[in-house]
A = this chain, B = another copy of it.
Amino acid sequence: MATEIQYSQPSGAVSHVAGFQSAAVSCDIRNKGNDRLDLCILHSPAPCNAAGVFTKNDIVAAPVVQCREVLSSGKPVHGVVCNSGNANACTGGQGDEDARTMAREAHTQTSSPEGSFLVCSTGRIGELLPMGKITPKIAECAGSLSPTRENAEASARAILTSDTKPKEVLAQWQEDGKTVSIGAIAKGAGMIEPNMATMLAFVFTDAEIEAGLLKELLTNATNQSFNRITVDGDMSTNDTVLLLANGASGVKIGQDTPKALQTFQDALNRICYDLAHKIVSDGERITKVVRIEVSGALSSDAAEKVCRAIGNSLLVKSSWYGNDPNWGRLVDAAGYARAGIQMGKIDLHYDEVPALLQGVPQSGNKPEWKTVVSKKDFTIHINLNLGEGTGWILSTDLSEGYVNFNKSE
């Protein structure tokens, strides 16, 4: 029997994970003269194994380079320091230096070993970080670290940019009479605010898991979540997902505990999916979330291409915004994915309502298609009836508000 996992979305989710503490401060990085939280530290006094998954963009921001260096060193990790408001991307050698300075300041002020802090930044591209403001605030932030719910919630807010709300999730279950927790926070989808970059997700667990296995678990979970969302198709220079495991629960999970390992993978998958869904749902000026499911493709790669062509089509996304069940545009987009599809074989359903069967429009159902497409959340099922390949993606509509929001700095 599968272990029962409790999922919840409490404010201050990370405070429920044993052995982690956090704090957030305001550096006024954007020079707005306000006290918006824009820097946080998430810290484990005990050493963590850690793994990361990063943007595949050729152009990567300085903090991504810094994280990769730390993770490839194989040394234990003690925490993450993250700022919002400035992505430290396309900032040259000085940017690399600034990311290292942030890490150094964080490990020094938390009395952690050298090379044990990961750095993340999100915000404007192409501007140097105001280090004169940031460095002293890292000290202040380190001085207020605590495991309280309030501090965890403040950290979840400090990483946001154009997001309208914090994104926090928690999974907990029993393993040998001990509680294992995974708590996580995330921020906004893809390229979001004017000039802003980045999706960030930080996942913390008190299980003890070896670093190589952690990477495998995180890659599996990411492929079924963050890698399957699209708001505008723009992949940022800073996209980062981190997973830190400090072992504070006293539960050790590995290849020798296959049932516990499966439970952890299940919980991690769900944590990442829920965060990904929250990110999509909070996409810039979107009005609905659409899940596209393709089956019967010649391969899973082909299925994914069809999903992405549909999920990124401006015409399709505009029609969803208008509550228009426009199967012609869907089929056209599926066709230019060049996945070898054939009109005469396509079955297409809006939720459970048939729109095409073997390529033939079921036009009598048109009012019902319209009802489905008018919802805030619906699924389009496409069976290409060619092979065994399947895929899915979470997408959104495209609103006039998106264009207005992104038209200038």
Binding site for B on A (CB under 8 A): 56-60, 89-90, 92, 124-126, 191, 194-195, 197, 232-237, 312-315, 318-319, 321-324, 326-329, 331-344, 359-361, 398-400, 402-404, 406-409
Contacts and interface: CB of A to CB of B under 8 A. Distances in A.
B408 A319 contact: yes
A407 B319 contact: yes
Given A326-B195, A409-B324, A315 B92 contact: no
B58 A313 contact: no
Contacts of A315: 191, 232, 234, 406
A84 to B, nearest CB: 16
Contacts of A191: 315, 329, 332
Contacts of A342: 58
A402 to B, nearest CB: 7
Protomer copies: 2
A403 B409 contact: no
Contacts of A90: 328, 331, 343, 359, 361
B403 A335 contact: no
A56 B338 CA distance: 8
Given A194-B326, A319-B406, A319-B407, 17 more contacts: A57-B332, A58-B337, A58-B340, A58-B341, A59-B343, A89-B328, A92-B343, A126-B328, A126-B361, A232-B315, A234-B314, A235-B332, A237-B332, A322-B408, A399-B403, A400-B403, A402-B403
Given A329-B191, A403-B400, A232 B314 contact: yes
A101 to B, nearest CB: 20
Contact of A339 (B58, B322, B344): B58
28 contacts: A56-B338, A57-B332, A58-B336, A58-B340, A59-B332, A59-B334, A59-B343, A89-B332, A90-B328, A90-B359, A92-B344, A92-B360, A125-B332, A126-B327, A191-B329, A191-B332, A194-B319, A234-B313, A234-B329, A234-B333, A314-B398, A318-B403, A321-B403, A322-B406, A323-B408, A324-B408, A399-B403, A400-B400
